[in-house]
Amino acid sequence: MARFIEAFCAAPRPGEVYNIGGGRANSCSVLEAIEAVQALTGKRMNYEYLEKNREGDHICYISNLGKIRSHYPSWDIGVPLPQILEQIVRSWRDRGAH
């Protein structure tokens, strides 16, 4: 996000609206995120899964980065999702959280 703000400040496009997020390459469901964290930590997470959609929630949401990339072709995602999860797990370990 900070790198996009920097690109925008260098070449502002007033009035434009951007849908910034991870795009398809960095998307995952909550269950996929739980599985990834469990794989990184070797620990099972305590959660309950209900076979009911939450009212008002998206069934699937993936950010379309096409407009951002067309307006700012040098911008790209700097840290992929798996690496972000690794950093979060490492920070919790460094703090002594179990």
| Model confidence pLDDT, tens digit, residues 10-34 | 999 999 999 888 899 999 998 999 9
Residue-number span of the structural domain to which 23 is assigned: 2-91
Average model confidence (pLDDT) across the chain: 91
Per-residue confidence (pLDDT) for residue 58, from 0 to 100: 81
Residue 97 has pLDDT above 70, yes or no: no
Per-residue confidence (pLDDT) for residue 4, from 0 to 100: 93
| Residue 98 placed within a domain | no
Residue 91: exposure state from Cβ atoms within 10 A (0-12, 13-18, ≥19): exposed
| Per-residue model confidence as pLDDT tens digits over 79-95 | 999 999 999 999 999 98
Query: How many domains does the chain divide into?
Result: 1
Q: How far apart are CA 70 and CA 7, in angstroms?
A: 13
Per-residue confidence (pLDDT) for residue 9, from 0 to 100: 95
Asked whether 23 and 90 are in contact (CB, 8 A), the reply is no
| Residue 14 placed within a domain | yes
Q: What is residue 28's three-state secondary structure?
A: coil
| Residue 96 placed within a domain | no
| Residue 48 placed within a domain | yes
Structure tokens that stand for 28 in this block = 């995952």
DSSP 8-state secondary structure symbol assigned to residue 56: T
| Residue 97 placed within a domain | no
Residue 98 has pLDDT above 60, yes or no: no
Q: At what angle do helices 81-94 and 30-41 cross, to 10 degrees?
A: 50
